[in-house]
Each structure stands twice: as structure tokens, then as C-alpha cells.
Structure 1
Amino acid sequence: MPTTEPDPSRPPSERATPDNLLHTRTGTEVSPEDMVLAAGRDLTPRNLEWARRKLEAEGPDCIEKMLP
């Protein structure tokens, strides 16, 4: 069962969160606001328009590409 804290008895290379647990989508709609915040930008009209265009062009999975 995953925990929020890594097991300190494990080697550092095994303490990283597995990729299958690193997801941003929860099955809900990705909003332009989500995209702007994921990009580390301020919520401005210009950035929201950028996010709308990106979502239209690439679909909601594009948010996964923006985060490590």
C-alpha cells in the first residue's frame, strides 16, 4: 500500500514515487485554469487563452506532458 512518506530503510533509488502513481488527472475535466497552474503561470486572460488553445489542439492529456 503506497504511503505519503518513503520508507527510510529502502535505498534512495527505491524511494522515488513510481510512475504509475504520478498522475495529475482524476477522471475529471481539465480546465484552462488547471493548465495555467500546471505550467507555473499566473492566471491572466492571456495565459487562460493559451491554455484553451492548447487543450483544443492537444486534448486534456497534454497536462501530463507538462508535469514531471
Structure 2
Amino acid sequence: MTDEMRQPLEETPEVADAIEDDVAVGAFITGGAPDSDNPEFLQPGEEPHVRTGADQPWDPEDLAVAEGRDPTPENVERARQELERDGAAAIERTVP
């Protein structure tokens, strides 16, 4: 065996290079925005903003497809009536 093969891993040039490398990996930089490692905490009494499916406009065709139906004229008409009758609740039942 040569000396290089018996050298402890901690003393290899590759490990030394890795330890000295303080450059951040761009893919892991969040820019300070909230993420799973840096969550945003709410102040006591502050309500969180929760986005739901009804936060955007829905066409009857969209609702019919979201419910798993083909956008046939009958299904689109049924979805139109549901949207007219129930409003956002029709969407919330399907896309919470």
C-alpha cells in the first residue's frame, strides 16, 4: 500500500478543497423569502392569507372539467346553473 492509500480521508486534498469552499450554491439560495427552512411567522391576532380555488374567475366549462365531467353542452349548462345558484361555494366544493 502506498502512503496515499493509507492517508485518512479527512486529510485528502479533495476534503480540504470542499471545506474551504464557502461559495453558496445558487439553487439553494432563497433570497430571504419564506420557505420551509425560514417560515414567515404571524403576529398574535394576525390572520393568515389563505388562497382558495374560488379566488379566481371560473367559467362553467372549467367547473364541469374540474368535477371530472366532459364539457358537453349538458354538463356545461348544469355547471352554469350551479355557479349561478351557489356562486363560490360551487367551486369550493370541487376545488378547495
Common topology (TM > 0.5) = yes
Match of 1:30 in 2: 58
- Alpha-carbon RMSD across the aligned residues, in angstroms, is 2.3
CA deviation string 1:12-61 (max 9, x = no partner) = xxxxxxxx56x3244x3111011101100001000000001000000033
Moved >2 Å (runs of 4+): 23-26
Identical pairs, percent: 38
Which is higher, the Rg of structure 1 or of structure 2? 2
Match of 1:49 in 2: 77
Q: Specify which structure has the bigger relative contact order, considering alpha-carbon pairs within 8 angstroms and separated by 6 or more residues.
A: 1
Where does the alignment leave 5 or more consecutive residues of structure 1 unmatched? 4-19
**TM-score (normalizing by structure 2):** 0.43
